[in-house]
Amino acid sequence: MAGELYRKPIMFAIVATVVILVGTIVTMFYPMFTEGMHPKLDNLKPYTALQLAGKDIYMREGCNNCHTQTVRPLKTEVMRYGEYSKAGEFAYDRPFLWGSKRTGPDLARIGGKYPDAWHYQHFENPQAFFAQSNMPKYGWLKDRKLDPAVSESHMKVNGFPYTAEDIGGLAAKSELDALVAYMQVIGTAVAKKVAPAAAAAAEERNPLEGDERAHERGEVVYKQYCDACHGDDGKGGIGPSLTDTTWLNKEGDIGDGRIYEIIANGTPNGMPPYANQLDKDKIWSLVSYIRHEQHKNK
């Protein structure tokens, strides 16, 4: 009886189809009708015309081949990238862009991590920020203008709200503008986790004070982490100068403990937190280095 199946191709094809459909229905088709597959966070907003254009460029250039957009709920991963990804963050992504390979870092929490200027300069020359980076340069995108008509049709297909002004404004924008706008919105529907203030911040004085070599150690760390934004010798660039006495846009010097805290926890306007990447000794050595450079400048 069972042997008959292998003599009847149509019957065989029907049985094979049914067998193939079982797993398909249980794990792919059925879940579509459950709520768990269509969640949406309350403060998730549809993409603006500029952001959507940026997302389209991200897809066109195949950025997903090297960057993921999902932080796994694993301790060190959350420390490195930020709060783990929530199902409700992706309701407007057609398709999802989680990726499958991290040749470059995850981008799920890139939005708001750096100022726009950082992105513009980094896209133009990633190696200026990280000498050993293997990311291609994307400065050529700034010479390509957006096409408002195309953007409008894409907004329509996605059903995102827009005004005539939004669309008209695109004519003056480049593809690089759009890509940066997209970078800045990724993952922003989830509130940034406020890093717990580093315990050492309470210490007003630098414990390395009196250590003659501390600023030299600090210089090594500075060159690795800081000079891309704050410039050679702390003279300033994308980020403010560290050698003057203006701190956080206010005239007047601040205490060692406060500088430590800024490095550890970052600031709301563009300085990323480093507490998870630098241990206490390294951060204090940076404070020593900054003080050393300040002193040289006086």
Query: Within 156-215, which residues bind other proteins (CB under 8 A)?
Result: 156-158
**Packing angle between helix 175-185 and helix 49-60, nearest 10 degrees?**
100
Least distance in Å: CB of 109 to other proteins?
13
Q: Which is nearer to other proteins, 125 or 246 (CB)?
A: 125
Footprint of other proteins on residues 102-161 (CB under 8 A)? 102-106, 126-127, 130, 132-138, 140, 150, 153-154, 156-158
Under rule CB under 8 A, residue 280 binds other proteins: yes
298 binds other proteins (CB under 8 A): no
CA atoms within 13 Å, Cβ hemisphere of 14: 4
- Are 70 and 108 a contacting pair, CB within 8 Å? yes
Residues that contact other proteins, how many (by CB under 8 A): 91
CA separation for the pair 92, 107 (Å, rounded): 17
- Which CB, 144 or 205, lies closer to other proteins? 144
HSE, side-chain direction, 13 A CA sphere, residue 254? 17
Q: Which of 202/254 has CB closer to other proteins?
A: 202
Q: Please choose, out of 35-43, 109-117, 205-213, 232-240, the segment that lies near other proteins by the rule CB under 8 A.
A: 35-43
Q: Which is nearer to other proteins, 10 or 194 (CB)?
A: 10
| CB contact set of 271 (below 8 Å; sequence gap of 6+) | 239, 262
How many angstroms separate the first and last alpha carbons of the chain? 97
Burial class (CB in 10 A: 0-12, 13-18, 19+), 211: middle
Query: Looking at 5-13, 114-122, 189-197, 229-237, which segment touches other proteins (CB under 8 A)?
Result: 5-13
